[in-house]
Structure 1
Amino acid sequence: MKSTISTTTQHDQPVIQVRTADGAEATISLFGGQVLHWQPAGGRPCLYLSEQATYDGKTAIRGGVPVCFPQFAAQGPLPRHGLVRTRTWRLVGQREIDRQVMLTLAIDSDDDTLAVWPYLFSLELTINIGARRLDMELEVTNTGADALEFTAALHTYLRVGEVELAELHGLKGLSYTDACDGGTRKTDPMPALQVDDPIDRIYHDVRRPLTLDDNGRTLQIEQENFSDVVVWNPWEAGAAALADLPDRDFRRMLCVEAAMVKAPVRLAADAQWWGRQSLIIGE
């Protein structure tokens, strides 16, 4: 069986649908350059996508893996989470290697981005879909004459059976900034993170893999060159305040995001930076 790659539309928006030779599936939206769906071979979907997401070509799609650049959240003067999650990317490369499918999407600065952020840039997002893993690598190039600074994240919405039963391992002993407590700096003493309230934390200097235990399914989360991990769930009141999120769906998702937030990346002219996140299903 060969892998298949097709360009089609979903909710009137252009998407790329992939099925690997091993049976893994993925859907990538060109609007936002965003992985919307990933299902490992023989498994169930690993990413959460809201049934009430908006697909109007202007509004960010709630779920999957939005790309945040050059600003994370509202931590700066730009639109929330930056400039590229509500713009259309282009497919610039596709190939199959060892039964895995690799796609490369790209987007560049233009007159609209320059009007709000006066820097020239080029982004590439390389997505590798394997039987049991999904790798996403974001590469940023400063194409201008002046140095620039940015923050970024792969805002990964993970699908869980019941968030209160899920356990996220690997954060013990790490310091974090707690946005639910006014930005207080704390240290996590727990061997596993369990969520039973709103959570909005940025863990710093994360150098080891994390493991999400979702009622018997194990997902390993690895990152390279991203120094922070954001963990977010809006809980009941927060979900009710979001028009594009069903009220009870906070129980079906947990965001675990590879990020560069605490220390912005500074790029000289013509310089490049990259960061990678990998999701790997346990045997």
Structure 2
Amino acid sequence: MGSVEALAATFNRPGSITVFAGEGGLPAVRLASPTSAASATVYLHGAHVASWTDGGGTSLLYMSPTAVYDGKKALRGGIPLCWPQFGPGALPQHGFARTSAWALAATADEAGALSATFALGSSPGTRAAGFAADWVLTYTVRLAKAGGALSLRLAAAVAAGSPPAPITAALHTYFAVPSAAGVAVKGLAGLTYRDSADGGRERTEAADAVTVGAAEVDRVYLDAPSTVRLERGPSAGAVVMRTKNFPDAVVWNAYVDKTAALADMPDEDWRRYVCVEAVSVKTPVVVEGGGSGWGR
């Protein structure tokens, strides 16, 4: 990974991109537009996007004030990167990308955007965990200087001669909201969803807008559209999520009881976020040796 000082000497871009020691001393990269209030912070631990502010100065991600920055546990809030497994399975919950130490591979200050690219590769540890493939994962976080639009691109390349890599994945985004009870997620009407709060039972979404704040909501919407809109509440604006090669979507809010069981989130903070996630889970993507795949 390298020291913060060494990384800063290589990857800092004066006036826009800064490598620094974040919470717990963990190395992080801050992208800050020189022409607007837009900014984003990404930790190398998990390649975890921990903050995102748009060009008007609105902070759009929830980070738990009790998140654990020990370089081992996944950070609670922001945008955890779930790969190569979403949810439970043969590997640790949500895979190992979100708890791994990534390398900072590149930064760029371009005419209209700032970016940082992170890299992670297979190791004896990932093979011992049960993921046999030899692979390299790259993740590029791009921030538009003017409006602050955030773009995330995840790409996996599998070495020639390697066993194939079966992949499910998610960009597990915690959007900050004034009140969970006031949000509406639009674009999912008529879709089949797996209701994880009810044992995985499949249902059809009858509502024009998915709402949270009255009970636990944990739904995987299958074959979702590429555009989903989150209305953050009265006078709070909206966020439009556009995806490619993430064919499913998740809406999640832990509500009261599940939040009380989380050691790294205050009991009342279920009111402060809703997760709307770009997901690939219905059908695992299998990348053969010598092949590659990507999503955003």
**Same fold, TM exceeding 0.5?**
yes
- Consecutive unaligned residues of structure 1, counting only runs of 5 or more, are 277-283
C-alpha distance in 1 between matches for 2:246 and 2:226: 11
Cα distance, 1:213 vs structure 2: 1.0
- Consecutive unaligned residues of structure 2, counting only runs of 5 or more, are 1-13
TM-score by length of 1: 0.94
Task: Output the amino acid matched with 1:247.
Answer: D
Stretch of structure 1 that moved more, 221-230 or 19-28? 19-28
C-alpha distance in 1 between matches for 2:259 and 2:203: 25
Identity %: 36
- Alignment check: 8 A CA contact 2:187 2:225 kept: no
- Alignment check: 8 A CA contact 2:118 2:139 kept: yes
Residues 1:44 and 2:50 aligned together? no
Residues 1:18 and 2:35 aligned together? no
- Alignment check: 8 A CA contact 1:198 1:235 kept: yes
TM-score by length of 2: 0.90
2:136 maps to which of 113, 122, 126: 122
1:179-194 matches, cutoff 5 A: 179-194=196-211
C-alpha distance in 2 between matches for 1:105 and 1:122: 11
Residues 1:224 and 2:244 aligned together? yes
- Alignment check: 8 A CA contact 1:21 1:99 kept: no
Residues 1:6 and 2:10 aligned together? no
- Alignment check: 8 A CA contact 1:205 1:228 kept: yes
Partner of 2:149: 133
C-alpha distance in 2 between matches for 1:44 and 1:73: 30
1:160-239 matches, cutoff 5 A: 160-195=177-212, 196-215=214-233, 216=235, 217-239=237-259
- Alignment check: 8 A CA contact 1:200 1:231 kept: yes
Partner of 1:264: 284
Cα distance, 1:3 vs structure 2: 4.7
CA RMSD of aligned residues (A): 1.2
1:159 maps to which of 157, 176, 188: 176
- Alignment check: 8 A CA contact 1:68 1:84 kept: yes
Task: Output the amino acid matched with 1:272.
Answer: S
Name the structure with the higher strand share.
1
Aligned structure 1 segments of 4 or more residues deviating by more than 3 angstroms: none
Cα distance, 1:148 vs structure 2: 2.0
Partner of 1:240: 260
Q: What SS does structure 1 have at the residue aligned with 2:125?
A: helix
